[in-house]
Amino acid sequence: MKTIAMSNSFKISAIAILFTAFASCTKQDLGGLNQFSDIRPVNPITVQNAVDYRPGPTVTVSKSGTGAFSIILALPATSARSIKEITSVAISTSYTAIEGTTGLYNTAPIPGSGKTATFNTSLTEYQAKGGKLPPATNAELTSQFYFLVTLDDGSTVLTTPVRVLYLD
């Protein structure tokens, strides 16, 4: 009988230790975000004239006509900041192109206007600067546009890549 009593006492002690260990665990504060969430930027820049998300913001250009298109970058109206300029523009399939100082699509800063800045280009300029048109219409251009934006306080924001859909 003694062995049974010791056995039960051992089990109760083990359960008490486990309960204490679990009760002492605390949840980590991650600033309202869990480990699977994206970290939200302080000054998010969106594409105001995006017509779709494929999965990134997408603007369109028609193969007929002039082939001109615009990408309008915007801060939320509630942001305390304004856009000073689009500092640089690159076309590529990765972020590394915008992080350098050579081979950029546009080297002259494009001034902002309050909460927005507009980048204007054309299919002709895109091809002249190394971009290739897709073999078929109703497809995306082969490279995406990357923007480095400078805000009025001197901080910079690297935007989400922007896709361009080449339409009939």
Q: Does 99 map to a domain?
A: yes
In a domain, 10, yes or no: no
> Does residue 34 sit within a domain?
no
Specify the pTM. Answer: 0.75
Q: Angle at CA 57, nearest 5°, toward 56 and 62?
A: 120
Q: What domain range includes position 129?
A: 46-167
pLDDT digits (tens, 9 = 90+) for 20-61: 666 665 555 555 555 555 667 788 999 999 999 988 999 999
pLDDT in tens, 110-152: 999 999 999 999 999 999 999 998 888 789 999 999 999 999 9
Residue 90 lies in a domain: yes
CATH of the domain at 151: 2.60.40.1220
Residues in the chain: 168
Q: Is residue 21 part of a domain?
A: no
> How many structural domains compose the chain?
1
Look at the block and give the residue holding tokens 């494929």. 54
- The answer to whether residue 66 sits within a structural domain is yes
Structural domain contains residue 68 = yes
In-domain check, residue 162: yes
